[in-house]
């Protein structure tokens, strides 16, 4: 499972809570919120803010390298993500390595698609939306209702 910090991670935790019995590895940015869950394995990516495009680009490249290493080392059966930018390399790499991919568009996206959603839509096996209006933007998506 992979997610940026903040609200994206909170949404991912809702999924983690119902996947009892599965071996879950979480890849996220290091924040105070993700240290509160008792998970077997948490791996961190550099936090990527977009305020400095040069630093963002360097961190994004590092995320690609780390994601590739982790995909090859842990060989996941499935990659599930709620976004945002930190998830893009892992989703694309997973797809290239023929790993099943699932993306859940953010609950905050009621009418307009996210940049991450637009980037990964073509690469994921299953794409879920939490609002019925979003099916207009993602015709192959499945509406699942709110995770909250």
Q: Which residue has the tokens 């949404």?
A: 11
Alpha-carbon distance of 118 to 112, in angstroms, equals 10
Q: Splitting the chain (148 residues) into consecutive groups of 10 residues, what average pLDDT does each group show?
A: 87 85 85 60 78 85 91 93 90 94 95 96 97 98 92
Note the pLDDT of residue 81.
96
> Is the residue at 33 inside a domain?
yes
* pLDDT tens string 133-142: 999 999 999 9
Q: Look up the CATH number of the domain holding residue 57.
A: 3.40.50.2000
> Is the residue at 148 inside a domain?
no
- Return the exposure string of 124-142: e unless at least 16 CB atoms fall within 10 Å of the residue's CB, then b: beebbbbbeebeebbeebe
Note the pLDDT of residue 104.
96
> Is the residue at 20 inside a domain?
yes
> Is the residue at 50 inside a domain?
yes
Residue 111, C-beta contacts closer than 8 angstroms, at least 6 positions apart: 131, 133, 134
Strands 25-29, 2-3: pairing is parallel
Which residue range is the domain that position 124 belongs to? 2-143
In total, how many domains does the chain have? 1
Contact indicator for 114, 84 with CB cutoff of 8 Å: yes
Alpha-carbon distance of 99 to 12, in angstroms, equals 19
> Is the residue at 90 inside a domain?
yes
Contact indicator for 132, 145 with CB cutoff of 8 Å: no
> Is the residue at 27 inside a domain?
yes
Note the pLDDT of residue 13.
86
> Is the residue at 17 inside a domain?
yes
Distance of CA 45 to the CA centre of its chain: 12
Three-state DSSP at 74 gives: helix
């Amino acid at each position: 499972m992979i997610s940026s910090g903040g609200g994206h991670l909170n949404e991912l935790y809702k999924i983690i809570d119902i996947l009892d019995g599965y071996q879950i590895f979480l890849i996220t940015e290091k924040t105070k919120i993700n240290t509160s869950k008792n998970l077997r394995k948490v791996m961190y990516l550099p936090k990527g803010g977009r305020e400095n495009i040069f630093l963002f680009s360097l961190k994004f490249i590092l995320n690609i390298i780390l994601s590739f290493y982790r995909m090859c080392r842990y060989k996941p059966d499935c990659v599930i993500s709620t976004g945002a930018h930190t998830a893009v390399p892992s989703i694309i790499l997973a797809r290239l390595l023929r790993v099943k991919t699932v993306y859940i568009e953010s609950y905050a996206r009621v009418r307009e698609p996210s940049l991450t959603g637009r980037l990964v839509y073509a690469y994921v096996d299953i794409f879920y939306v939490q609002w019925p209006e979003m099916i207009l933007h993602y015709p192959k998506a499945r509406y699942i209702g709110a995770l909250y």
